[in-house]
Copies of this chain bind each other. A is one copy, B any other.
Amino acid sequence: MIQNIQNTEGKLMLLSLNFSSDVPIYMQIRNQIVVAISTGTLEPGERLPTIRNLALETGINTMTVNKAYQLLKQEGYITTDRRNGAMVNGTFHDTKTLSQKSMDYLKVVISEARLTGISEEEFNHICHIMYSEGNMNDG
């Protein structure tokens, strides 16, 4: 299911939820918001949709949205306060380190890539496209 979601300024945000996926809904929300922040679809300081709105428009429970926002807050991607709701963080730690979880996932993805005959150059190309998506909103 693909949903058009508006943030508090009325800007559109695409949210694609798959209810029969083994990835929990709250994690799908979290992932897509991380991607949106990284690609610039969500800019530093920008307000996220309110929990209530996001829940209402996607038809999911507010608890589920809340769980996603809590996770994002805990990971440092967003801040929440009572007056302004949720907001994209302006600065991120330049730790230049991938989490162990991401490293594990990456290893499995690369393993699958190799086994289907994708060369390192071709894999770099796929990564390049994904990396570049983050620069579209920069120029």
Task: List A residues at the B interface (Cβ < 8 Å).
Answer: 19-20, 31, 34-35, 37-39, 73-74, 77, 79-81, 83-84, 92-99, 102-118, 120, 122-124, 126-128, 130-131, 134
Docked CA distance A60–B9 (Å): 22
Given contacts A34-B111, A134-B114, contact A127 B98 (CB under 8 A): no
- The secondary structure that dominates the A interface is helix
Query: Would B116 and A130 count as touching, CB distance under 8 A?
Result: no
Query: Would B118 and A130 count as touching, CB distance under 8 A?
Result: no
Residue on B with the closest CB to A23?
B104
Listed A/B pairs (7) with beta-carbon separation below 8 Å: A19-B83, A38-B115, A94-B117, A98-B116, A102-B113, A103-B126, A124-B124
Query: Would A131 and B110 count as touching, CB distance under 8 A?
Result: yes
